[in-house]
């Protein structure tokens, strides 16, 4: 019965979200309904969920929302809001633009277009450490790297597909999903980044870059040659705005550098949290801006944009995290997780298979919605309990679900970054997704293999993984055969 209730709730919420209902409202209201169902039909006491009970079970459901909103806004929420505000300020000062421009210069010395594309993807993923917004980074690369790659012989659609993929693998302290994953796993974000993310994402990024180069070469051979005048950005590159000083390229790197220095990796006696590192970096940036312009009024106006962005991040991201946690709490309250673990044991399935299923669901929902946050925020709170059941590291099990959100988004023609890049490049979003499908699917499967190999549970998911590979290959072959069928009038 608990699994049936959970399945109905998931399908109901998923259907509404796919129909463009606001995910915060859907997840929050569905979560409240699940909590109340758990209390009235199963006798579950909601007082165990709250710090201080109201004395009435129905009201404890809303007290749990208050507790979650209070804790997330002051802890995890503050960190994510500061990251968003700092990223905005880096764009306002021109520091992000300088970083992208300087980092892309070595590519001009290469003559192979497809090697350029592979290196461009690696470069973009490196820059995503410091520019956390997928759409923001994509637009920066379209303004700087895109015209360069076009002039060096790459096709518009190929470059657009690569740039759209540069934030597919979300990692590093600047990623809101990474921060949430580390918090849920109960570890420091630097430890999660260095010990759990890097061993997985580095080979995945390199592999995706290689597959991207081969895929774009295949598509370009099938496409018609492009006219030289097809670059919509080639005519006007200079907006007339003053460029930031060269040293500003260091400013976006400051939070990560400070956190790495003030950790057990370098100076173990210094321990600075992520939000403190961002605030310190912001103070340094403000000093640099004042030295640059000698105008306190304008510098303070720039700081106000940080606060404005923080408010926007709260409305769009923090509320979604809270709603996802309420939905997850509702699923756990009706006994869905316990029933799923019990059912998997009775059916001979491992709990590792459940993690794989959650990874697949997150991936599919991200591809359908163009955003993986709703799925990841809903499933992340369940992973510690499942990981404890199978005796595996929580962070290692959290990683495939977290990364699937970003990779799945890159397969969606309605994702914001895909639409923005397609519009600038003058190509169809569907064309971009066709070119990103194989690299993203290949990287996703490799990520799953590496993750479960590191956790020691690879053999438990081999049959399911083999099935995913067969379905993926069959889908690609079917798509190719459909393109070969001649159209009739």
Closest among 148, 31, 46 to 101, alpha carbons compared: 148
Report the alpha-carbon distance of residue 276 to residue 268 in Å, rounded: 16
Alpha helices in 334-457 (DSSP H): 336-346, 351-369, 373-379, 383-390, 394-409, 416-425, 429-455
DSSP code, position 171: -
**Per-residue pLDDT at 214:** 92
The shares of helix, strand and coil residues in the chain, as percent rounded to the nearest 5, are 80, 0, 20
**Of 105 and 201, which is predicted with more confidence?**
201
Report the alpha-carbon distance of residue 162 to residue 179 in Å, rounded: 26
Residue 234 lies in a domain: no
**Per-residue pLDDT at 41:** 77
Tell me the chain's radius of gyration from C-alpha atoms.
Answer: 23
Residue 228 lies in a domain: no
Residue 229 lies in a domain: no
Helix, strand or coil, per DSSP, at residue 292: helix
DSSP code, position 486: P
Q: In the structure encoding, which two tokens stand for residue 161, read together?
A: 């597909």
Residue 37 lies in a domain: yes
> For the whole prediction, is pTM greater than 0.95?
no
Report the alpha-carbon distance of residue 167 to residue 128 in Å, rounded: 6
Closest among 310, 251, 258 to 284, alpha carbons compared: 251
Strand residues in 189-326 grouped as ranges (E): none
Report the alpha-carbon distance of residue 412 to residue 420 in Å, rounded: 13
What confidence tens digit (pLDDT) does each residue in 44-78 have? 777 777 888 887 777 888 888 888 888 878 777 88
Under 8 Å between Cβ of 31 and 23: no
What confidence tens digit (pLDDT) does each residue in 247-282 have? 888 888 888 788 888 876 676 677 787 788 889 999
pLDDT band at 20 (very low <50, low <70, confident <90, very high): confident
- Residue 273: CB partners within 8 Å, gap ≥ 6? 79
Residue with tokens 């410091």: 130
Report the alpha-carbon distance of residue 200 to residue 331 in Å, rounded: 30
Residue 468 lies in a domain: yes
Under 8 Å between Cβ of 129 and 367: no
Sign of CA dihedral 294, 297, 302, 303: positive
pLDDT surpassing 80 at residue 128: yes
Percent of the chain with pLDDT over 70: 87
DSSP secondary structure of 391-418: T--HHHHHHHHHHHHHHHHTT-TTSHHH
The total number of structural domains that make up the chain = 1
Under 8 Å between Cβ of 439 and 212: yes
Residue 125 lies in a domain: yes
CA-based max dimension of the chain: 75
Domain that holds residue 213: 2-223+243-484
Report the alpha-carbon distance of residue 209 to residue 179 in Å, rounded: 25
pLDDT surpassing 90 at residue 87: no
Residue 237 lies in a domain: no
Sign of CA dihedral 263, 268, 271, 272: negative
Sign of CA dihedral 302, 304, 307, 308: negative
**Per-residue pLDDT at 282:** 92
Report the alpha-carbon distance of residue 315 to residue 344 in Å, rounded: 38
pLDDT band at 487 (very low <50, low <70, confident <90, very high): very low
Phi, psi (5° rounding) for residue 435?
A: -80, -20
Q: In the structure encoding, which two tokens stand for residue 86, read together?
A: 């700092």
What confidence tens digit (pLDDT) does each residue in 228-248 have? 444 444 443 444 446 888 888
**Per-residue pLDDT at 190:** 86
Percent of the chain with pLDDT over 90: 11
Residue 389 lies in a domain: yes
**Through-space distance between the first and last CA atoms of the chain, rounded to whole angstroms:** 53
């Amino acid at each position: 019965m608990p699994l049936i209730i959970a399945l109905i709730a998931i399908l109901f919420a998923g259907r509404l979200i796919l129909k463009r209902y606001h995910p915060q409202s859907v997840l929050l209201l569905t979560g409240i309904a699940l909590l109340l169902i758990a209390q009235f039909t199963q006798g579950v006491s909601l007082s165990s969920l709250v710090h201080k009970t109201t004395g009435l079970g129905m009201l404890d459901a809303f007290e749990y929302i208050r507790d979650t909103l209070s804790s997330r806004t002051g802890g995890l929420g503050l960190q994510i809001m500061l990251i968003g505000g700092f990223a905005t300020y880096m764009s306002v000062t021109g520091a992000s633009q300088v970083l992208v421009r300087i980092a892309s210069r070595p590519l001009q010395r290469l003559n192979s277009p497809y090697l350029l594309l592979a290196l461009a993807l690696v470069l973009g993923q490196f820059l995503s450490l410091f520019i956390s917004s997928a759409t923001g980074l994509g637009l920066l690369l379209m303004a700087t790297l895109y015209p360069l790659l076009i002039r060096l012989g790459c096709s518009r659609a190929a470059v657009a597909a690569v740039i759209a993929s540069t934030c597919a693998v979300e990692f590093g302290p600047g990623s809101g999903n990474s921060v949430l994953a580390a918090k849920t796993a109960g570890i420091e974000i630097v430890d999660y980044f260095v010990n759990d993310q890097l061993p997985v994402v580095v080979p995945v990024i390199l592999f995706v870059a290689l597959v991207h180069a081969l895929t774009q070469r295949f598509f370009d051979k099938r496409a018609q040659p492009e006219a030289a005048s097809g670059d919509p950005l080639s005519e006007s590159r200079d907006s007339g705005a003053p460029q930031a000083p060269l040293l500003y390229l260091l400013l976006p790197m400051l939070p990560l550098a400070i956190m790495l220095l003030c950790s057990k990796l370098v100076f173990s006696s210094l321990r600075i949290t992520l939000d403190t590192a961002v605030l310190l970096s912001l103070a340094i940036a403000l000093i640099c801006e004042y030295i640059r312009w000698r105008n306190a009024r304008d510098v303070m106006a720039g700081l106000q944009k940080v606060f404005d962005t923080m408010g926007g991040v709260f409305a769009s991201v923090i509320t979604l995290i809270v709603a996802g946690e309420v939905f997850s709490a509702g699923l756990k309250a009706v006994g869905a997780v316990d029933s799923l673990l019990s059912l998997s044991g009775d059916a001979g399935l491992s709990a590792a298979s459940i993690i794989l299923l959650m990874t697949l669901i997150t991936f599919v929902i991200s591809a359908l919605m163009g955003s993986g946050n709703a799925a990841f925020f809903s499933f992340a709170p369940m992973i510690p309990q499942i990981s404890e059941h199978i005796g595996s590291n929580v962070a290692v099990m959290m990683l495939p679900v977290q990364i699937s959100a970003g990779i799945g988004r890159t397969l969606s023609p309605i994702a914001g970054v895909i639409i923005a890049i397609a519009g600038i490049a003058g190509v169809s979003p569907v064309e971009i997704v066709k070119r990103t499908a194989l690299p993203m699917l290949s990287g996703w499967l490799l990520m799953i293999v590496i993750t479960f190999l590191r956790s020691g549970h690879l053999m438990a998911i081999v049959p399911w993984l083999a099935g995913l590979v067969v379905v993926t290959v069959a889908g690609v072959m079917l798509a190719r055969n459909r393109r070969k069928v001649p159209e009739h009038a």
